[in-house]
Structure 1
């Protein structure tokens, strides 16, 4: 397929338009995931200000979503809304990928350069990936409302406590929880497969978002055990991080974001351009 071959970071792409080979996907092991995590933690320690600032902004976004649900007398949607909010984590971590890229290449770190790179993506393919994430988040909220209607009827709840009591003390509520978490897990796995390497790939290379998603899915299918294992780790860390009013995300998001960048570098190789 043809696309613009100019690259944001001088990746060596040809200045002419022509067929471009698909990125090469490497098979990785659990040890590679551990190494990526160690590298991500090292990046966080080397540039904590950037990670903490981005993590704090993300945490504030989660609080805003939950408080908005309460303000609209829809506090019973606080939990699913919070769970749906963390689905945008890959997009929120874009700035972290740029920090890791600069650290890896020995380039200067500054807010102006990081924001400049992020702003440059507004007219690029990464914007379409943001739309994909948003679409899945909307699907998440719609399936929650559908399951609520199916299992608990068309009703609202005066408070989150009333909703929680109904959910955990009735057969219908427990079924809602079980089915909801299964559907949520499926949507999360789909989103993970589509985005785990596509966002960092688009940050580094001027590729179309379809190629990026295909590469991401190939990475998961090539190394299913370590990649899905990493997905479970990410899910568990995010759940724990949300518990104390989203405060845990201030630290966990940057570490997960930096780790994802290094995991991408282990999974994907960009071949020489074919004219």
Structure 2
């Protein structure tokens, strides 16, 4: 494996470029992932469009679970490093293996996402002075409310949940695909890698959020490209963050 470049604040841009290269060379597995995830987001919107207090939590909870749904893209990027091109059959084989570690991790993320959906819905319902039923209600009475309170509390609670979930998954999920490491060991390694490079890890988190927001702002169509781009780039983030700690990655 080639020598890994040092991890700096500019590294997330390199991960993004490498991820785009993976997507451009082998687009169909990534676009299929993006299409399915965007369709799921559209289904969430359709079900809860008139209950925005629930929709806001459901979308953010969906983003908590989304990394485990993108594990097939890590296999695509890993194969690309070895000069191989894999298709949907290999991605489906990864899911068909029913790896218990990925199943357990997915269940844990699902519980975290459900907890946030309920917390978000409860906070908005109880604190908002008027019923929040549509996106314009959320924008007018929560986001643009001149008094400090609900929106800031909602963001703070979301950040408090998202930060440990991000630290637990950003390296752990690719590790589970790449090595036989247990869930506990992978999560511990993920925390070590993030703690060793807090600046680049934080920049990468911000870039992920911005890409997702831009994808949502295009009536979810942008997610078809943004989500696989994030998935492929996350593989390269794992490679560089993990290698920089001195642990020899698999593959």
Give me the TM-score of the superposition, normalised by structure 1: 0.80
Work out which of the residue numbers 196, 202, 208 in structure 1 matches 2:176. Answer: 202
Deviates more, 1:176-185 or 1:77-86: 77-86
Q: Runs (4+) of structure 1 moved beyond 3 Å? A: 155-166, 168-172, 269-273
Q: Give runs of aligned pairs for residues 2-81 of structure 1, distance below 5 A.
A: 28-70=7-49, 73-81=50-58
For these two proteins, the number of residue pairs brought into alignment is 243
Give the CA deviation at 1:56: 0.9
Q: Secondary structure at the residue paired with 1:125?
A: helix
Alpha carbons 1:65, 1:85 under 8 Å: kept: no
Alpha carbons 1:102, 1:108 under 8 Å: kept: yes
Give the CA deviation at 1:90: 0.9
CA shift in 2, pair 1:151/1:266, >3 Å: same
Which residue does 2:141 correspond to in 1?
A: 166
Unaligned runs of 5+ in 2: none
Work out which of the residue numbers 138, 147, 164 in structure 1 matches 2:123. Answer: 147
Distance in 1 (CA, whole Å) between partners of 2:203 and 2:143 is: 29
Give me the TM-score of the superposition, normalised by structure 2: 0.87
Distance in 2 (CA, whole Å) between partners of 1:227 and 1:244 is: 26
Give the CA deviation at 1:145: 2.5
Q: What are the Cα deviations for residues 130-183 of structure 1, in whole angstroms up to 9, with x where unaligned?
A: 112112111211211231244127x855544445443356567x5211110111
Give the CA deviation at 1:272: 9.6
Distance in 2 (CA, whole Å) between partners of 1:101 and 1:134 is: 26
Work out which of the residue numbers 126, 139, 160 in structure 1 matches 2:102. Answer: 126
Q: Is it true that 1:227 corresponds to 2:201 in the alignment?
A: yes
CA shift in 2, pair 1:268/1:28, >3 Å: same
Alpha carbons 1:39, 1:262 under 8 Å: kept: yes
Give the CA deviation at 1:115: 0.8
Unaligned runs of 5+ in 1: 1-25
Distance in 2 (CA, whole Å) between partners of 1:221 and 1:240 is: 28
Alpha carbons 2:125, 2:132 under 8 Å: kept: no
Name which one, 1 or 2, has greater alpha-carbon Rg.
1
Which residue does 2:83 correspond to in 1?
A: 106
Alpha carbons 1:27, 1:222 under 8 Å: kept: no
Which residue does 2:153 correspond to in 1?
A: 179
Alpha carbons 2:20, 2:233 under 8 Å: kept: yes
Alpha carbons 1:27, 1:223 under 8 Å: kept: no
Q: What are the Cα deviations for residues 104-153 of structure 1, in whole angstroms up to 9, with x where unaligned?
A: 11234122122102221x24211111112112111211211231244127
Give the CA deviation at 1:260: 0.6
Work out which of the residue numbers 66, 72, 94 in structure 2 matches 1:95. Answer: 72
Distance in 2 (CA, whole Å) between partners of 1:194 and 1:103 is: 25
